């Protein structure tokens, strides 16, 4: 490897790694703010939170790589131009294409790595991420009974304590409202003091109460009139609350494994083939079921009491042949029933088919995304490197603004195309529209950079307009 290549790679890989890390961190912070309420106050172990953040970070890699490549390429070439290193390279007979070549090799390798990651690592990471997120969000908050508040997180019970000792387990002035039996009976337990502790397996919360009363009041049933209120005094009583739902437990893979986001390209192809076969079966069901209203009408019109022709006739024709008003009303009601039934069946099947097609389209979108996000690394490099050499601005300002602008354009066009594909307005190839939009921009910038065009030179534009003004004979007015 030549010294020039090492210089270019050192200048490129540093910003690439830094930008990739920042992009993943920003996307991860968006995830944290979205689910912060589901994680705080649940007593989750550090390893559980770290595992969730690790899996979430892995799902952001395919999105962060193109951003990193775009920013690093603009910044690298902009630094070369701003420090006149690019001018020195050109003076030495080294073209822009040759300068971009080491970075292009790295980006080409990243494109392959991005596809491998999206096709092999991403499905497994997404599976683990969804499993862990589901387990975290469904876990109840840790038991934290505060003084003077009504604690309602234990199903069927409301607990209020007046004071708590410094050890956190000794309680005073305890009131427990027991609604575990529903509306059939109201039970209130009042105790002067008690001790709160959990069992070794953390499945039960034990309250050992001292010196109190239990008030039971039935609201219906056989004891409603015989014993409207029962009072029981006790010296010591132990109550066990089931808190097994507060524990963190891992779900099985089968709960999420069938999702299209957890599949590679081969699995997506198999799933699409199976779903397409099911959709064809749905069409067969429609043809069979929609014939049934027609069969009922034909059976009705073949009734000897009202039919005057061996073949099915229209409602109006049949209506005109019947003189009995009662028979006419029956005929009208039967026709309305048949039409309504057929209309309901059509609408139901329309909704089912629309849902089936959208689900198939989501599989196609996921498959195409694995390719488009990988190719995006190459396309955005094709834009970033020439653009940086043209503007000749390094640092963080211009590269950051330009990279955000280009990526937002790519992302917005991609989202519009994805929605069109999902709604069947376009085929799966519509996922490549954003790439087709960015390709001419990259080729244009590459042509401008390699041909030393003055298209982006402000001084050249000023000279052009001065010549244009002089040519058309427009001169500034003479000052008196």
Q: Where are the domains of the chain?
A: 3-139+368-469, 150-246, 261-366
Q: With contact defined as beta carbons under 8 Å apart, do 78 and 388 qualify?
A: yes
Measured distance CA(3)–CA(371) in Å, rounded: 34
Measured distance CA(170)–CA(205) in Å, rounded: 14
**Residue 219 three-state SS:** coil
Measured distance CA(220)–CA(183) in Å, rounded: 9
* DSSP state at residue 242: E
Nearest to residue 193, comparing CAs of 220, 221, 157, 169?
169
pLDDT of residue 107: 93
Phi, psi values for residue 147, rounded to 5° = -70, 140
**Residue 187 three-state SS:** strand
Burial code of 281-312, b = ≥16 C-beta within 10 A, e = fewer?
eeeeebeeeeeebeeebeebbeeeebbeeeee
pLDDT of residue 479: 47
pTM value? 0.68
Q: Are strands 157-164 and 204-218 parallel, antiparallel or unpaired?
A: unpaired
pLDDT of residue 108: 93
Measured distance CA(389)–CA(370) in Å, rounded: 30
pLDDT of residue 313: 54
User: In this structure, what token pair is assigned to residue 24?
Assistant: 């993943």
pLDDT of residue 247: 62
pLDDT of residue 105: 93
Mean pLDDT by 10-residue block, N- to C-terminus, for the chain (480 residues)? Answer: 83 91 90 77 74 88 91 89 84 85 92 91 87 72 75 85 85 88 79 86 84 82 66 88 69 67 88 87 78 68 51 58 68 76 82 88 92 92 89 78 89 92 89 92 87 65 75 54
pLDDT of residue 13: 92
pLDDT of residue 51: 85
């Amino acid at each position: 490897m030549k010294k020039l290549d090492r210089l270019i790679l050192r200048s490129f890989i540093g910003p690439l790694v830094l930008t990739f890390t920042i992009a993943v961190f920003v996307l991860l912070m968006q995830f944290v703010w979205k689910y912060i309420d589901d994680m705080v106050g649940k007593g989750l172990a550090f390893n559980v939170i770290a595992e969730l953040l690790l899996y979430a970070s892995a799902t952001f890699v395919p999105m962060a790589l193109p951003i990193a490549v775009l920013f690093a390429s603009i910044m690298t070439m902009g630094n070369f131009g701003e420090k006149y290193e690019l001018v020195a390279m050109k003076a030495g007979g080294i073209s822009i294409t040759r300068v971009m070549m080491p970075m292009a090799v790295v980006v080409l390798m990243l494109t392959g790595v991005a596809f491998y990651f999206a096709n092999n690592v991403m499905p497994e990471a997404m599976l683990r991420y969804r499993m862990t997120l589901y387990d975290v969000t469904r876990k109840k908050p840790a038991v934290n009974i505060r003084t003077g508040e009504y604690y309602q997180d234990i199903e069927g019970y409301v607990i209020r304590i007046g004071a708590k000792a410094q050890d956190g387990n000794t309680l005073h002035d305890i009131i427990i409202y027991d609604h575990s039996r529903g509306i059939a009976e109201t039970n209130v337990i009042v105790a002067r003091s008690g001790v709160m502790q959990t069992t070794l397996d953390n499945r039960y919360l034990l309250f050992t109460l001292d010196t109190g009363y239990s008030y039971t009041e039935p609201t219906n049933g056989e004891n409603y009139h015989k014993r409207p209120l029962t009072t029981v005094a006790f010296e010591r009583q132990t109550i066990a609350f089931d808190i097994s739902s507060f524990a963190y437990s891992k779900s099985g893979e089968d709960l999420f494994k069938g999702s299209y986001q957890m599949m590679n390209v081969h699995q997506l192809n198999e799933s699409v083939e199976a779903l397409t076969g099911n959709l064809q079966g749905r069409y067969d069901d429609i043809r069979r079921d929609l014939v049934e209203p027609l069969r009922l009408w034909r059976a009705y019109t073949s009734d000897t009491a009202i039919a005057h022709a061996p073949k099915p006739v229209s409602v109006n024709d049949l209506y005109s042949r019947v003189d009995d008003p009662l028979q006419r009303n029956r005929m009208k009601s039967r026709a309305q029933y048949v039409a309504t039934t057929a209309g309901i069946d059509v609408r139901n099947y329309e909704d089912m088919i629309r849902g089936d097609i959208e689900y198939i389209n989501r599989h196609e979108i996921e498959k195409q995304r694995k390719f488009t996000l990988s190719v995006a690394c190459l396309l955005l490099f094709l834009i970033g490197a020439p653009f940086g050499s043209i503007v000749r601005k390094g640092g963080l300002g211009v590269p950051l603004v330009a990279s955000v602008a280009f990526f937002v354009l790519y992302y917005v066009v991609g989202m519009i195309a994805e929605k069109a594909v999902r709604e069947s307005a376009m085929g799966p190839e519509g996922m490549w529209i954003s790439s087709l939009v960015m390709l001419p921009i990259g080729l244009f910038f590459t042509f401008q950079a390699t041909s030393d065009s003055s298209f982006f030179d402000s001084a050249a534009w000023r000279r052009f307009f001065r010549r244009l003004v002089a040519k058309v004979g427009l001169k500034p007015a003479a000052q008196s």
